[in-house]
Structure 1
Amino acid sequence: MNMEQHLAARLNHIAPFHVMELMKMAAELETDGRHLIHMGIGEPDFTAPPPVLEAAAKALTDGRLQYTSALGLPALRAAISDHYAQQFGVTVPASRIIVTAGASAALLLACAALVDVGKEVLMPDPCYPCNRHFVVAFEGKPKLIASGPEHRFQLSDDMVREHWGAHTGGVLLASPSNPTGTSIAQSELAKIIASVRERQGFTIVDEIYQGLTYDGKPSTALSLDDDVVVINSFSKYFNMTGWRLGWLVVPERIVPAVEKLAQNLFICPSAIAQHAALACFAPETLAIYEARKAAFQRRRDYIVPALRELGFNIPVTPDGAFYVYADCSHLTKDADAFAKQVLREAGVVIVPGQDFGPATAQSYVRLSYANSLENLQEAVVRLKQFLHDQG
């Protein structure tokens, strides 16, 4: 019997991650000796700073590698709680914080706990593709709502009210967002949360880029409502992508349900990563992160006007994360083909909009500035020559 006959039907609703296919193409070119400048994957070029590495080494030496609680190390949960108080002035009890195996695990747990079979979850188009696939994995129905530059590529309260139906269960937002680098204003987010609460739904807010906010002070949805569910990560601001560590904040009443799920699905997050992450919150480590954040901002302030000068239309200046979402519709009718041509001919890795939703699939590309300023400058030189050659 053909093994494909045993695959679950839900797989038909989960699309391939096209960014990864482009990365395979890039890897093949590099194997052939091509020098590429990577502006594709959203991964900081900075790695974990010395205090974090030292904490990891000490955990190894001391043999602190056993299973932890499914909720995470008590000391780490307390440190995250203190971080919310010190950085955002928000009281978030450690008892509401669940340490997870990356933000992906946090989103899986949130969807497992909240998404009923057949229930719709509203989210903006464009958005991070895995978010809608997490919903599908638990047999919910992601409902993408076209959210253009006039809305900063985010959902508004009016959109939520307009699209909420009898089968809607909640909303899944990201602020700042991947792929757009834009945030939802706190005033608008407060309205959305209130509207969802009024309809007895759930609000999940992905805040994994929260620490990388440049135009104003970073904020959190947790300051608006105790019922909101928030996802965060050690990958982006804390530069620990491969360590696979994140956290989830949930209302107190559903902690036991999420703990039960975490026990069964993950046992616990990585012990060594948790011990290392304790060092993230030391004053000297936070100073390193803030210096790196300033470097990201300098890169943004260079690359956005440089791309505009090349002819890319960037209708919304990103205020966070490390992405530029650029309209290339006057340069090409097919963003996917354009990205592949830029890769082959200019040696610059960018990604097309097709992963992020149908509304911008053919007309936008995403560029990551999680690379050195020198490399970004070289990328601009290469793109300028490429566009000149195209006539």
Structure 2
Amino acid sequence: MHQNLAARLDNIAPFHVMELMKMAAELEKQGRHLIHMGIGEPDFTAPQAVIDAAAKAMAAGRLQYTSALGLPALRAAISQHYRDVFDLDVPASRIIVTAGASAALLLACAALVEPGREVLMPDPCYPCNRHFVAAFEGRAKLIASGPDHRFQLTEEIVRQQWDERTSGVLLASPSNPTGTSIEHEELGKIVAAVKELGGFSIVDEIYQGLTYDGAPFSALSLDEDVVVINSFSKYFNMTGWRLGWLVVPERIVPALEKLAQNLFICPSSIAQYAALACFEPATIAIYEERKAEFKRRRDYIVPALRELGFGIPVMPDGAFYVYADCSSFTDDADAFAKQVLNEAGVVIVPGLDFGPATATSYVRLSYANSMENLQEAVARLKKFLTDR
């Protein structure tokens, strides 16, 4: 029997970078030594206290379903974290623990995106964000946002682009792929404008803990109607544990709980018990040391890439990415990334996945790698560019 797939799949593009990852895996099978600057994953893993907490929970048999909203103790710990770090009172009742930030974004889009309606987001942006919108038959309206705007939307842009089809905005600060944040005052103006226009603001803050220049802030300080996404993957180094959270206005918690019950039952109980250890003072001290190491790497790699001739028009102030203009070397960033892989043995990501505006002229490099490997990558890139 011939079975047609749902038409919505036509609106979800494949991850082009996966082709590059397959090529890299094949080269490594052949014995090539590659330096990976492609994957958006901390090279640090969960601290021992987190692993021990997971083992203790398993030994105690704490393996049953939890509430769809998450463990009350973990929701309370996240609430306290907002108080400790940002001096914000975010009640635990507004916090929903999720199966990764991806589940949080899925739940937010399920609750807020209407079929046929548009959600504004910058180009470049993380591709899955637009695909979450597409999954609920909304339309991501990508708006070219260059270095003059820190690769982010502004209040002026939002007002210019808003029309009768627009429902809201989906922002990320700091952003993947650019590592740039929206400045506090500008984000406040955007949120106020969206509210005035009758829309919703979703702000992805999964890299918020990795902010290097100045004190980090949360969009939750701007308006209690903002929906904020966060994660244990990046600052807390728990990528494969699949645990995140969502902060929403109190009035929509019942709707999100209903969705979470039906779509996910609950997040992993083991990951939740493990995450409780993330907030212990000794564990936070480890995370802060690792954050300082990411900053040290950034402060090395950005000048080194500029010296090689890459254009980095905006200093990335967060995450662990550099979004670099390679147009002085090529007019095809995808072909350039493949050439760098094959000839220099360095894995970088072309702009193709992040939106059309920078697809051919930018590459993303992750500095979630050791300083030794970053230095070797720069040496290989220098030789490659000299020999071309």
TM over 0.5: yes
The residue that corresponds to 2:182 in the other structure is 184
Structure 2 residue matching 1:287: 3-state secondary structure? helix
Select 1:83's aligned residue among 66, 81, 84.
81
Task: Give the TM-score normalised by structure 1.
Answer: 0.99
State the Cα deviation string for residues 300-322 of structure 1 (Å, max 9, x = none).
Answer: 00000000000100000100000
Q: Distance in 2 between matches of 1:296 and 1:231?
A: 22
The residue that corresponds to 1:154 in the other structure is 152
Give the partner amino acid of 1:37: I
Q: What is the CA distance between 1:22 and its match in structure 2?
A: 1.2
The residue that corresponds to 2:292 in the other structure is 294
Q: What is the CA distance between 1:75 and its match in structure 2?
A: 0.1
Task: Give yes or no for the alignment of 1:331 onto 2:329.
Answer: yes
The residue that corresponds to 2:385 in the other structure is 387
State the Cα deviation string for residues 304-361 of structure 1 (Å, max 9, x = none).
Answer: 0000000100000100000000000110010000000100110000000010000000
Task: Give yes or no for the alignment of 1:266 onto 2:264.
Answer: yes
1:1-391 equivalent positions in 2, closer than 5 A: 1-3=1-3, 6-390=4-388
The gaps in structure 2 that reach 5 residues or longer are none
Give the partner amino acid of 1:250: V
Q: Distance in 2 between matches of 1:126 and 1:185?
A: 17
Q: What is the CA distance between 1:119 and its match in structure 2?
A: 0.6
Q: Distance in 1 between matches of 2:39 and 2:17?
A: 8
Q: Distance in 1 between matches of 2:186 and 2:149?
A: 11
Q: What is the CA distance between 1:2 and its match in structure 2?
A: 3.1
Give the partner amino acid of 2:56: K
State the Cα deviation string for residues 62-95 of structure 1 (Å, max 9, x = none).
Answer: 1101000000000000000000000001110000
Give the partner amino acid of 2:28: E
Q: What is the CA distance between 1:28 and its match in structure 2?
A: 1.1
Structure 2 residue matching 1:56: 3-state secondary structure? helix
Q: Distance in 2 between matches of 1:164 and 1:136?
A: 18
Structure 2 residue matching 1:145: 3-state secondary structure? strand
Task: Give the TM-score normalised by structure 2.
Answer: 0.99
Give the partner amino acid of 1:204: I
Give every structure 1 segment of 4 or more consecutive aligned residues whose post-TM-superposition deviation is greater than 2 Å.
none
State the Cα deviation string for residues 109-159 of structure 1 (Å, max 9, x = none).
Answer: 000000001110000000000000000000001000000000000000000
Identical amino acids, percent of aligned pairs: 81
Give the partner amino acid of 2:140: P
Q: What is the CA distance between 1:293 and its match in structure 2?
A: 0.1
Q: What is the CA distance between 1:19 and its match in structure 2?
A: 1.7
Q: Distance in 2 between matches of 1:387 and 1:303?
A: 16
Q: Distance in 1 between matches of 2:32 and 2:269?
A: 39
Give the partner amino acid of 1:183: S
State the Cα deviation string for residues 186-241 of structure 1 (Å, max 9, x = none).
Answer: 10000000001001100000000000000001110000100000000000000000
Q: What is the CA distance between 1:174 and its match in structure 2?
A: 0.1
Q: Distance in 1 between matches of 2:31 and 2:85?
A: 45
Q: Distance in 1 between matches of 2:114 and 2:18?
A: 29
Structure 2 residue matching 1:197: 3-state secondary structure? helix
Structure 2 residue matching 1:298: 3-state secondary structure? helix
Q: Distance in 1 between matches of 2:30 and 2:202?
A: 44
**Number of residue pairs matched?**
388
State the Cα deviation string for residues 243-265 of structure 1 (Å, max 9, x = none).
Answer: 00000000000000000000000
The gaps in structure 1 that reach 5 residues or longer are none
Q: What is the CA distance between 1:15 and its match in structure 2?
A: 0.6
Q: Distance in 1 between matches of 2:19 and 2:263?
A: 28
